[in-house]
Structure 1
C-alpha cells in the first residue's frame, strides 16, 4: 500500500491540496502552499514536471544514456535556481522565505550527489544561516527558539560531512567556521563565536596569501630573467597592496590573540595563522619578523599528527633565508 502524500513544506502531515500547475506537489493547508509558492515553487513549478513526472521509456542503450544525462541536467538546473533564490532571500533580510527554497535545493542535491557529498555543505550552512536569522528576528520565544535548534541540526550535518572528507577544501572549511561562528553569536556563546570566526578569517587570509606569494615568486623570476620594463609596474602593485598587508597583519594578530586567550587549544589553526602572518611580513619585506614568525609556525607544525603544512612553511623559510643572505 502506497504511503499517503506528505506536505511539501512541513513533511509532517497528510497533504490533500495539490498544486494545479505541476500537479506533483502537495500541501497540508493553504498557508503552506502560499509560503512555498512565494519562496520557490513559483520559480520551479514548470521545471518539476519533466523531473518528477513519468519518465519516457527508451528502447536503446544510447537513448537511455541520453535520457539520464538530460534528467541530470534538469536536476542540476533545479538545484541552481533553488539555491540562488534562497541566497537572494537571505541577503535581502528575509530568512523565513529562504528556507523552503533551500530545502528544495537540499532534496535534489541529496538525490544527485548523495547524502554525504560536500556539495550539500553550502546548502546546510545556508539553511543554518536562514534559521539563525529567523531566530534573531523572533528572539528566544516560540518559533524563534525552535529555529535555533533547527540551525544546530543543519550545522551538525555540515560538520559531519566535512569531518568525513579528509581532502575537504580550505574554502569550505572556512564557510563552516563562519556558520558556526554566527550560530554561536546568536546563541550568546561569544568565546565560541570568536574562535570559529577567527578560523574563518585565518583561512581566507592564508589562501589569499599563498596566491600572493606565488605571484611574488613569478615577479622575482621575471626580474631575474631581465625584464627592464616591468619594474615600474611592480612598484605600483606594491603600493596598491600595502593597505591590504596592514589590514591582514592586524586581523591575524587579533586571531592569534584569540587563540592564546581562548579556552580551546588548536595548534593546527594557530600554525596556519602564524604561517599567514609570516607570509605578510615576507611580502612586506620585513624579513627578520617573517623569519621569527615563520619559525614559530614551523616548530608548531612539526608537532601536528598530520604534517602537510611543513613543506609550504619550509619553502617560505627558504625564500626568507635566501632574501636575507642576498641583502647581507
Structure 2
C-alpha cells in the first residue's frame, strides 16, 4: 500500500476525503492527488480500488497545460473523456468482483468511484447511473444496511421509470435487487414478485433458457427453501443447474470437437462468459452443491449433476486444481450410483482434466 503523507493545508484550500468528503489530513504519496480524513479510509480505498487506479487518477486531477489551438483543446478533452469512461468501467467491474466474492465492505469505495465518474460524464439524471446504484444497494443489503440499500434502490427505480429506452437487462437487475431487499426484510411475497419480474425481463433479453435467468430462479428457490417448500425449491435449483450444465457443455464441446485449436482460440468462443458471469455461476452453483450434499436425504443423481456442472465450470475457467478436485468428487459420486456407468461426456471431461494436470 502506498504511504500516506500528513498535510499542512494551504490557507483557504479545502481538501476532502476521497470516501466521505470530510476535511482531509492525509495524502496518497504515490499519486499525490488523492486525500483522506484518516488512515482507515485510505486503507479501505486502497484495498477496494485505489491500488488499481492510483496512477490513472493523475491526468484527471492535475492542471492540464494550456492548448493554443482549438484542435488541441478538443483532442485533450476527448482523451480526458475516454479516460473517465475507462475508469467508470474499471471501477464498476472491480466492485462487481468484490460483490460476487462476498466482500461487501470492499464493494463500497469502488462503486462510489464508479458513481462519481458516471455523474461527471453523464450527469445526475441518466440511466448510466443505475448499475452503480444497484451494486451499492446489493453491497449494503449484504452488510445489513437496509435503509441505505433502500435509498440507492429508490434512486435506481425512479431513474428507470423516467427513462423510456431503459434496457430489459437493467430492469432485470433492478428487480433482482428489489427482491433481495424484500427478502432481507422478510417480506417474501413481495420478494418473489420482484424475482419473477427479474426472470421475465432477463428472458425478454436473452431467452428463457439463457444463463441470465438463473439468478432470479436461484433467489426464488432460496425463498421457498426458507419457507420449507422444498419441492418447489428443489425444482428451481434443478432448473438453474440444467441451464448452466447445457451452456457449459456447449463451451466444452468447442474444445473437444476442435481440439486442434489452441486454448487462446477456445477463449475467443467464450466471450459470452465473462469474468463476472463466471463468478456468479460459481457463487450460485457452489451454493446448490452445498444444499445437495447437506440434504438429510441425499440424491446421488442430483449431486452428480451439480458436480459435473461445477467441474466443467472450473475447467473452462482454467482453474486446473479445482477442476481436478471436483473431478475426483464427480467420479466418486458416479461410482456410488447403482449400476451407473460413467457417461461419455464425464469420461471425456475427466480425461481432459488429467491431461491438463499432468502437463503442468
TM-score (norm 1): 0.59
- Matched-pair contact (CA < 8 Å) for 2:172–2:198: yes
Report the CA distance between 1:3 and its aligned residue: 6.2
Deviation string, structure 1 residues 137-196 (Cα, Å, up to 9, x no partner): xxxxxxxxxx21111111111111101112212221111111111111112111211111
The correspondence for 1:5, drawn from 8, 11, 15, is 15
Q: Does 1:32 align with 2:41?
A: yes
Counterpart CA distance in 1 for 2:169 and 2:162 is 16
The correspondence for 1:204, drawn from 202, 205, 218, is 202
Counterpart in 1 of 2:278?
none
Counterpart CA distance in 2 for 1:63 and 1:206 is 45
Report the CA distance between 1:86 and its aligned residue: 0.7
Counterpart CA distance in 1 for 2:19 and 2:188 is 33
Report the CA distance between 1:39 and its aligned residue: 0.6
Q: Does 1:101 align with 2:110?
A: yes
Counterpart in 2 of 1:173?
171
Counterpart CA distance in 2 for 1:106 and 1:28 is 20
Counterpart in 1 of 2:289?
none
Counterpart CA distance in 1 for 2:90 and 2:125 is 22
Report the CA distance between 1:118 and its aligned residue: 0.9
1:207-286 superposed matches below 5 A: 207-209=205-207
1:270-309 superposed matches below 5 A: none
Q: Does 1:20 align with 2:29?
A: yes
1:110-189 superposed matches below 5 A: 110-135=119-144, 147-189=145-187
Counterpart in 1 of 2:97?
88
- Matched-pair contact (CA < 8 Å) for 2:168–2:204: no
Report the CA distance between 1:87 and its aligned residue: 0.7
Report the CA distance between 1:33 and its aligned residue: 0.8
Segments of structure 2 that go 5 or more residues without pairing to the other structure are 1-10, 221-360
Counterpart CA distance in 2 for 1:41 and 1:187 is 33
Q: Give secondary structure in 2 for the equivalent of 1:10.
A: coil
Report the CA distance between 1:112 and its aligned residue: 0.5
The correspondence for 1:42, drawn from 51, 75, 97, is 51
Report the CA distance between 1:10 and its aligned residue: 1.8
Report the CA distance between 1:2 and its aligned residue: 5.1
Distance 1:184 1:45, change over 3 A: same
Distance 1:173 1:2, change over 3 A: farther
- Matched-pair contact (CA < 8 Å) for 2:136–2:149: yes
Report the CA distance between 1:83 and its aligned residue: 0.9
In the alignment of these two chains, the number of paired residues is 206
Counterpart CA distance in 1 for 2:181 and 2:130 is 15
TM-score (norm 2): 0.54
Counterpart in 1 of 2:73?
64
Q: Give secondary structure in 2 for the equivalent of 1:18.
A: strand
Larger Cα-atom Rg: 1
Deviation string, structure 1 residues 59-89 (Cα, Å, up to 9, x no partner): 1111011001100111111112211111110
CA RMSD in angstroms, aligned pairs only: 2.5
Counterpart CA distance in 1 for 2:111 and 2:92 is 6
Counterpart CA distance in 2 for 1:206 and 1:162 is 17
